[in-house]
Chains A and B, each alone.
Chain A
Amino acid sequence: MSASIEIAGVSKVYDGGVRAVDAVAMDVRQGEFFSLLGPSGCGKTTTLRMIAGFETPSSGAIRVDGADITHVPAHKRDMGMVFQNYALFPHRTVAENVAFGLRMRGLDKATIAAKVKAALAMVELSGLEDRRPAQLSGGQQQRVALARAIVIAPRVLLCDEPLGALDKKLRQQMQFELKQLQKKLGLTLVFVTHDQEEALAMSDRIAVMNGGRVEQVGTPTEIYNQPTTRFVADFIGDTNIFRGERVGPNLDVGKGLILALPPSEMQGTGVLSVALRPEKIRLIPRAESAAAGSSAHGIVENTNFLGGAVLYRVELAGGHRVLVQQPNAGTSRLFVPGNGVTLEWTPADLVVLKD
């Protein structure tokens, strides 16, 4: 039966004083696909290793279904783990690798054989039972690692960049399959990745980490549409970030550009940062006049053809550079560098950021 995890104010300071994880607090719900996302060195692996029991937190507590497991040794935690390099036992066959956890649980031979067979069928590896890991492709090894971890019906499945070593095509296929399997089995899954697309595509919720801290926890849409911090807005997808002084209901971001703040943010004074996604801006041929606060004139500086969409970099009259993404509406409607254009947006699409 899968479990919920509560990470309560956990910090990890390694010997030598590196504060790898800093007061991380988050809850992983039962049956949830939960991703830890962040740049290299932000403490994702360390967090996962503390959940698995390979590292002891310097402070704070980890609870599974409400029970404190902070000091329970790894082999008594009943969690499955898929390692980045798979960590398959090289001296054992595929079947023996998958059977390992069942053997440690003292199950009888017939039960083990049946479960191993079922697990290998689930990851579509039937027929490779007697191979050694070295005789498998990367994708097959990945499946063995997955089968080995889920065959013990763990309370929690932990994955540390499990798809990192696969090529793009196989990676997308495995993303899909892993997600299917997780839903089918109702697994609580904590998934570490530094690939934001992967996290957005697969997760029920994402914790974005930076410098050992959690910046934001939310669903993929929340993380993308309502980033709460400058770091999250910047890290997830392309975005335009403006920083300026409040002037009444507007934000003066300098160089002659005034942005109307969203209705909910009109009160207050002081300095503020806002984010505006490139695809939330409309690009039209240069208009006669521009509505103050929600449009601006500019010149297309360069274009980046993405296939289904086009990413433009536009230099505004005052000198700001803005990214604008437009759907590919046909060759005759595309802009080319040097075109004069007008940008339009809806003030409600501006997202106010904490620094």
Chain B
Amino acid sequence: MQTTASPSLPAAQQTASVRAPGPARPYGRYLYLAINIAILVFLLAPIAIVVVFALNPTPFIQFPPVGVSLRWFEKFFASRDFMHALGFSLEVAVLTTLSATALGASAALALARGNLPGARLIVATMLSPLMLPAILTGLALFQTYVLLDVGRPTWGLVAGHTLVTLPYVVRTTLAVLHNFDLRLEEAAQNLGASPVRTFFEVTLPLIKPGVLAGAIFAFIVSFDQFPVSLFLVSPGNETLPVTLFNYLKFDLDGTIGAASVVSIVLAFVVVIGLDRTVGLRSYVKL
């Protein structure tokens, strides 16, 4: 059994058994597992703390916890302010995702294909919001809106969010376009597909994984956006992070935790939903 590795063993295990036969073998595997678990703990610990905070019956976390309660969730869902903020955040995130995806994907196509002069400079400009602190972007937009005297409309906020999420869509779409074989489009045209048809039959399906990844980033970044929103929301029409921030200034209790848990679940639902409907998975194995 030790000399003939079973064919169903994973390759890594087979080589391990060749290199270190006998009792040494399991330790490598335990170490490997331990490192992986440590990474997972590190990544998931903040979420766990938030969940504990949300389910903790007392306003402040106590160790050991004195029980489990849903009172903070009740308070969160009963609050008109929070519910309005949640709805508004979702609305802004959806609008931002749509505009950033449409603009970003089109821009990436033009930049990759259009033979534009100064394409590199344009790419750098489009990606620059990633490099700037978002608070500067927020402040600059705020001043611009004041100068233009447009007030603080929802579209202004969506425009701000689009600005900071556009780089994600441009980046991910450019990445798939970079590896795109142009002969596939020629093959489609050769078989009788008009340029428009070629785009929808060949180009779009093939760049979809990149566009979708960008769209998911855009949604999450917008839903989570604080610095830009802080400058651009109007009183009574605030996004969830801004409302949470204002709430925190006066109260600190499990409602914050409950709101965070709801946000996490929502983000999860969006990613899973996109995966199920437009299918990320079918592209992983091309």
Contact = CB atoms under 8 A, between A and B. Distances in A.
Interface stretch (A86-94, A174-182, A265-273): A86-94
B183 A91 contact: no
Contacts of B188: 89, 100
A89 B183 contact: no
A87 B193 CA distance: 15
A83 interface: yes
Contact of B187 (A53, A89, A91, A134): A89
A78 B181 CA distance: 22
A87 B205 contact: no
B190 A74 contact: yes
Contact of B197 (A85, A87, A88, A104): A104
Interface in A59-88: 73-81, 83, 85, 87-88
Contacts of B201: 100
Contacts of A152: 191-192
Contacts of A80: 190-191
B183 A104 contact: no
Contacts of A52: 186, 190
A85 B184 CA distance: 10
B88 to A, nearest CB: 38
A101 interface: yes
Most chain A CB inside 10 Å of its own CB: which residue of B184, B187, B286: B187
A111 to B, nearest CB: 15
B192 to A, nearest CB: 4
Q: Is the interface of B mostly helix, strand, loop or mixed?
A: helix
Nearest to A106: B192
A14 interface: no
A73 B186 CA distance: 11
B36 interface: no
Contacts of A81: 186-187, 190
**Chain B contact patch, size range:** 20 to 34
A104 B198 CA distance: 10
Given A89-B202, A91-B205, A101 B191 contact: yes
Given A90-B206, A91-B206, A79 B286 contact: no
Given A75-B192, A90-B206, A91-B205, A83 B183 contact: yes
Contacts of B205: 91
Given A87-B181, A87-B183, A134 B286 contact: yes
A134 B206 CA distance: 14
B144 interface: no
Given A74-B186, A87-B186, A89-B184, A104 B206 contact: no
A249 B57 CA distance: 116
Interface size, A (range): 20 to 34
Interface in B166-223: 181, 183-184, 186-195, 197-198, 201-202, 205-206
Contacts of A104: 191-193, 197
B155 interface: no
B60 interface: no
Contacts of A44: none
Contact of B190 (A79, A85, A89, A91): A79
Contacts of B245: none
A101 B186 contact: no
Interface in A38-68: 52-54
Interface centre among B191, B198, B202 (most CB of A within 10 A): B191
A132 interface: yes
Given A91-B286, A132-B286, A134-B286, A54 B192 contact: no
Nearest to B206: A91
Interface in A249-271: none
B193 A91 contact: no
Contacts of A246: none
Contacts of A277: none
B283 interface: yes
Contacts of B192: 75-76, 78, 101, 104-105, 152
Contacts of B202: 89
B248 to A, nearest CB: 47
A74 B190 CA distance: 6
Nearest to A76: B192
A53 B286 CA distance: 29
Interface string A123-152: 000000000101000000000000011001
B283 A75 contact: no
B181 to A, nearest CB: 7
Contacts of B181: 85, 87
Nearest to B187: A87
Interface string A190-207: 000000000000000000
B83 to A, nearest CB: 42
A18 to B, nearest CB: 17
B180 to A, nearest CB: 11
21 contacts: A52-B190, A54-B186, A74-B186, A74-B190, A75-B192, A75-B198, A80-B191, A85-B183, A87-B183, A89-B188, A89-B202, A91-B286, A100-B191, A100-B201, A101-B191, A104-B193, A105-B192, A132-B286, A134-B286, A152-B191, A152-B192
Given A83-B183, A83-B186, A105-B192, 7 more contacts: A53-B190, A74-B190, A76-B192, A87-B184, A88-B187, A90-B184, A100-B188
Interface of A: 52-54, 73-81, 83, 85, 87-91, 100-101, 104-105, 132, 134, 148-149, 152
